[in-house]
Amino acid sequence: MNHNEAVRENATEKYLLNELDPAVRDQFEEHLFDCQECALDLRTAATFVEQSKVILSEGPPISPVRVSVSAPANSGWFAWLRPAFAVPVLALLLAIIGYQSLTYSQLQRAANSPRVLASAVVNVGIRGGTITEVPAHPGEAFQLSINVPPDGRYTSYKLDLYSPQGAVEWSRTIPASGDGTLSIYIPGSDHEPGGLGVHGIAADGESVDLGRYPLELQNQK
């Protein structure tokens, strides 16, 4: 899935509403690793939904509004003026307007403000359980540079991101580089990373485990 397809299919909204087919959902999640605009859009939408829940839960109850309508009860247009329909529809319209305004404002600030993406370096081949500290807050995106020893056997590398409990969060295969440095963007997530697994993939498809390297977010507050 590319960015135009994600926009055309309203993938962000359907993802939050859990309306995507499993195959399309996997494609969209993979797309998020490469598209910072979609990642920001998804994060903004999720924040708006959570804040809306807080506001609605803390706000005063809405007093019922009595509307006298002389038209028949089954009249389609006038039926929307009844309180049972008017209040939810108005709330929905306000939510849509607020979400669109917030999304545009967030994207505009992101586009016009220079940002330095947090980054860290993982050195493959170093043993002893050395922890790589990432200077990022929980939920923030960051960049990983992976230094691998030169080895002509491997045409690509498979990277596995593990949770602190040892479960694989996602996997990504990227081609080998001439200078032995791999770079990957990791979008923000509610789950903190626990470690990065690196596998060398030979031309014949053989996979060699090059180790698992612990990751830890440095800014916990």
Position 81, amino acid: L
pLDDT over 70 (residue 61): no
How far CA 37 is from CA of 34, 118, 139, 143, in Å, comes to: 9, 17, 16, 16
pLDDT over 90 (residue 202): yes
Q: Which residue has 């839960």 as its token pair?
A: 57
Band the pLDDT of 199: cuts 50, 70, 90: very high
> What's domain 118-217's superfamily in CATH?
Macroglobulin (MG2) domain (2.60.40.1930)
Torsions phi, psi for 60 (to 5 deg):
-70, 150
Q: Which of 165, 155, 157, 168 is nearest to 125 (CA)?
A: 157
pLDDT tens digits, 83-124: 544 455 455 555 555 555 555 555 555 545 555 678 899 999
Cα gap 88→136, rounded to integer Å: 40
pLDDT at 104: 53
Question: DSSP string covering 52-96, please?
Answer: HHHHHHHSPPPPP------S-TT-HHHHTTSHHHHHHHHHHHHHH
Identify the weakest region by mean pLDDT among 79-93, 121-135, 190-204: 79-93
Torsions phi, psi for 184 (to 5 deg):
-145, 140
Q: Which two tokens stand for residue 115?
A: 């940002």
The count of residues in the chain is 221
Does the reported pTM lie above 0.75? no
Mean pLDDT, residues 154-168: 92
Domain boundaries of the chain, sorted by first residue? 3-112, 118-217
Question: DSSP string covering 151-188, please?
Answer: -TTEEEEEEEEEPTTS-EEEEEEEE--TTSEEEEEE--
